[in-house]
Structures are given as C-alpha cells and as structure tokens.
Amino acid sequence: SLQLLQKFKQQHPEIPTKSGLMMGLGESNDDIAKVLEDLHAHGVTMLTLGQYLQPSLQHLAVERYVPPIEFDMLAKRAKEIGFHHAACGPFVRSSYHADLQASGQEVK
C-alpha cells in the first residue's frame, strides 16, 4: 500500500494523497505514530484517524474506545510530521469533510 501511494504521488505531485486509519482494534499509540511516519515518508499529505465501531456481531469487537485527548495528541503529531491536513477524532471517517478538501478549503 505504501509503495502504491508513493508511486501515485511521484506521478501526480499536484494531487493530494490521503489515507485513513480506524483505531480501537488493539494498536498502541506508538504503532499509530510509526504508521503516520511511514505514510508521510511515502508522500501522503492528508490523514484521517477515527474510532472503529463494530458494525455487527459478525465483525471484530472494539478492543478499546480511544479518548478524544489521544486523537488530539495524534493530530498534533501528524502536523509535526508534516501532514497538510489531519482530521482525528472518534467520529472521523475516511470521507470526513471530503467536499471541503476537494475544493481546497481549510478544514478545521
């Protein structure tokens, strides 16, 4: 996945690249921070981090509900790494404010 993102960014540097992660399935914040570094190193410029919610009993159970303060800390870390935009919070999904991002508007 990282190589695909990197190759796309190399071929289309003017197009923002975006990736997203759902948290709450057993990962640590150190795991997430490492993934953020990897994503940025491979040309990803936009990021979403959200809380995984079990859609049905047939899906994986939530292992942990991530507190909002941890999402805030990861958003700060993402900005420090160099992401142009990082939407991080329990209700953030991969399409979070996609309409504003596509138009180039600032997303808060």
47 phi and psi, to 5 degrees? -140, 140
Confidence of residue 100 (pLDDT cuts 50, 70, 90): low
pLDDT at 5 over 80: yes
Q: Is residue 74 part of a domain?
A: yes
Q: Is residue 14 part of a domain?
A: yes
**DSSP string of 67-90, one letter each residue:** PHHHHHHHHHHHHHHT-SEEEEST
β-strand 46-51 against 85-88: which pairing, if any? Answer: parallel
Full residue range of the structural domain in which residue 40 is found: 1-103
Q: Is residue 108 part of a domain?
A: no
Q: Is residue 54 part of a domain?
A: yes
pLDDT in tens, 55-76: 999 999 999 999 999 999 999 9
Q: Is residue 3 part of a domain?
A: yes
Q: Is residue 68 part of a domain?
A: yes
| pLDDT in the model for residue 93 | 85
Q: Is residue 39 part of a domain?
A: yes
Q: Is residue 91 part of a domain?
A: yes
Domain count, the chain: 1
